[in-house]
Amino acid sequence: MNLFFDGKTGDGYTNASQIARVITENWLERNMFCPVCGASLLYRYVANKSVADFYCKSCTSDFELKSYESKTANVKRKITDGAFHTKLERITSLNNPHLFVMSYACMKVNNLMLIPKFFLRQIS
């Protein structure tokens, strides 16, 4: 597995957070298999899909990717996100996505964790 990002993927973007999103999503799409069923590919949803970035055609699982730059291998305690209420509704629903959390530095993946969706669902 190649842990380095393809920096050319971010060409054409000027905003640092957009560049990071495009580069990390590209890496995941090229290097990750489905951790639920083992299918060899994950597919990217169209941009701006609410609270899901990838899906598996074989088992229909959804995945969200959150990434952050970190100079150390430490895991963040808090992951920032955009539309809070949309995120909250989605992760507490019955069809919430699994969550990938990636830390990176110097155009390379440091850590990639999977948080299964059942850990994110709110218990009523």
Q: How many domains, in total, are found in the chain?
A: 1
Per-residue pLDDT band at 41 (split at 50, 70, 90):
very high
Is 70 exceeded by the pLDDT of residue 87? no
pLDDT digit string, tens, across residues 10-25:
999 999 989 999 999 9
Distance CA(69)–CA(75), nearest Å, equals: 10
Query: 108 lies in a domain?
Result: yes
Q: Which CATH number covers residue 104?
A: 3.40.210.30
pLDDT at 119: 83
Instruction: Identify the residue whose tokens are 């990717």.
Output: 65
pLDDT at 120: 72
Distance CA(37)–CA(91), nearest Å, equals: 21
Query: 2 lies in a domain?
Result: no
53: domain range? 7-119
Both tokens of residue 28? 């995941």
- What would the mean pLDDT of 103-118 be, rounded to a whole number? 93
